Amino acid sequence: MIGLSGRFRSALIIGGQGIRARKLRTFLSMISLFLGVLGVVAAQAGQVIAHRALVANSELTRGVDGTQQVYLPPADGSSEMLMDVIKGRKDAVAMLSTQAIIGEPNVRPINEGGSPIDGGGGGGYGTMMQCDAEGNCVDPNEGKPSGQAIEVRMLALTGDVRQFRPLRVQSGQWLDFHGAPSLAPRLVLNKAAAKAFTMYQVPAEMRFQGSIANSTPRIVGVVDDGQPQPQAYVRTDELLNWMPPNALSDPQYGGGAEILASPTATDFIDILKKKFAAIADPKMGGGQVYVDTISAEDMMPGEIQLMRWVFLGVSILVLLIGSAGILNVGLATVGERIEEFALRRAVGTPRLLLAGIVLAETLLTGLLTAVAAIGAGIAGLEAASRLFGDRQPMLQDVAFPWEAGVAGVAAGLIAGVLGGLVPAARAARIPIATVMRA
């Protein structure tokens, strides 16, 4: 072990001396390898950032990985029961939905059914029909003239949902769940709804099915929730000032509830299942509560696997290009140092040490190049975050992924080995008689 350690140390020392003696050639080989390693670093960093972008979109629309997603079917009294069970819980948030129209009273909304607003005025989802228990459906807007009104999907929240869905505040502020509820419901619009209210100036009057009177909402902020249709978020208690609780669990007005809970909230879900089974109609599914654990990998495995294979292929390709460059320089260097290596063999230098000297040079070159490429990658990502972070949310406050740094070091060492093996083997095979040429 002592002898092997001494040879290893000697190879590193002599290899470092060789690098200093041939600075220009080392620099040229580093340029070729730098581009290859930088490509590996960029590919790995791009894979991590792209994966985070895919997951971020899933987190906005569904929830962060590990969140328990609970669906509570509509049933008489389910809203009151849910409010009672979830009251005071910090590890669960309920979302109850209904359709609301903001604008002129007694008119058809511009985007019936809450469809996205486009440059021409939106539309396409159609009217949300109201149906009774016998299945008789009517158009609530039948006979009404078109007017200045926007239809949105209203999501009533029992708490701050951003711990499960990291909604990004674009302007204004998020809902404040502290203090008494306001009689003027405070709304936070998504970007699609904000676009609609920017395009059309509508009166601040809100109505929805089941309300006891029209209310005057206050828009306090805008968030990005990844949804293309207009949506608005409101405190549940502020919405219930204007409608009975059972209206939110009536399928005619919006249907059941969605609950997002932390992975540790198993006691909450067990209580919810038992209480819902006690009030649910057996003919409507027997009081079954649907629970699902959110996983981005399970939701889009094909896209993630394809992305990984594409970036892996790019990384391998650029690594081979960098290895070819250092191999070419290494062979040329060995060809120029034949007499030197032959003389070392004549004075008793083992073949293994000669090979180690050449391999040490390429490994040190690869390591130095990897450090330079990682530094360039960090600087480039920081510059991209500052220049394009405002327009690309996935680049905002993004940190250089450690996986890319590890991949860069590994790529530099692998390229050093691949590019140095053949020159090292050639140096070890140089016969002692070659020294006579000098």
Contact indicator for 367, 412 with CB cutoff of 8 Å: yes
Is the pLDDT reported for residue 199 higher than 80? yes
Is the pLDDT reported for residue 422 higher than 60? yes
In this predicted model, what pLDDT tens digit does every residue of 216-275 receive, in sequence order?
999 999 999 888 899 999 999 998 888 877 666 655 555 568 899 999 998 999 998 888
**b/e 105-123 (16+ beta carbons within 10 angstroms → b):** eebbbbbbbbbbbeeeebe
Residues 319 and 284 occupy one common structural domain? no
Q: CA 250 to CA 252: how far, in whole Å? A: 5
Residues 331 and 271 occupy one common structural domain? no
Reduced to 3 states, what is the DSSP secondary structure of residue 126? coil
DSSP alpha helix (H) spans, 87-134: none
In this predicted model, what pLDDT tens digit does every residue of 40-67 receive, in sequence order?
777 777 777 777 777 777 788 888 888 9
Token digits for 108? 């058809």
Residues 116 and 223 occupy one common structural domain? yes
Last residue of a domain, one of 293, 308, 325: 293
Residues 286 and 373 occupy one common structural domain? no
Q: CA 12 to CA 266: how far, in whole Å? A: 58
Last residue of a domain, one of 293, 325, 341: 293
Residues 205 and 349 occupy one common structural domain? no
Domain range enclosing 230: 68-293
Residues 33 and 159 occupy one common structural domain? no
Is the pLDDT reported for residue 156 higher than 80? yes
Q: Would you mind telling me the total number of residues written for the chain in this entry?
A: 438
Which residue spans within 175-251 are E strands per DSSP? Answer: 186-190, 206-208, 218-224, 231-235
Looking at the structure of the chain, the number of domains it has is: 2
Among 123-127, 239-243, 411-415, the range of highest mean pLDDT: 239-243
Token digits for 246? 């059972």
* CA neighbor of 37 nearest in space, from 410, 408, 420: 408
Residues 332 and 363 occupy one common structural domain? yes
pLDDT (average), residues 137-141: 67
CB proximity list for 202: less than 8 A, separation 6 or greater: 102, 103, 104, 148, 149, 150
The per-residue pLDDT for 279 is: 80
Residues 10 and 26 occupy one common structural domain? yes
Contact indicator for 63, 294 with CB cutoff of 8 Å: yes
Written as one letter, the residue type at 436 is M
The per-residue pLDDT for 374 is: 85
Residues 258 and 337 occupy one common structural domain? no
DSSP alpha helix (H) spans, 104-214: 191-199
Higher per-residue pLDDT: 187 or 50: 187
Residues 30 and 121 occupy one common structural domain? no
CB proximity list for 28: less than 8 A, separation 6 or greater: 329
Q: CA 86 to CA 84: how far, in whole Å? A: 6
Is the pLDDT reported for residue 430 higher than 50? yes
Q: CA 43 to CA 319: how far, in whole Å? A: 11
What pLDDT band is residue 33 in, cutting at 50, 70 and 90?
A: confident
Among 21-35, 141-155, 387-401, the range of highest mean pLDDT: 141-155
Last residue of a domain, one of 293, 326, 344: 293
Reduced to 3 states, what is the DSSP secondary structure of residue 145? coil
Q: CA 192 to CA 105: how far, in whole Å? A: 22
The per-residue pLDDT for 400 is: 74
Is the pLDDT reported for residue 28 higher than 70? no
Among 161-175, 207-221, 349-363, the range of highest mean pLDDT: 161-175
Residues 282 and 176 occupy one common structural domain? yes
Residues 33 and 98 occupy one common structural domain? no
What pLDDT band is residue 191 in, cutting at 50, 70 and 90?
A: very high
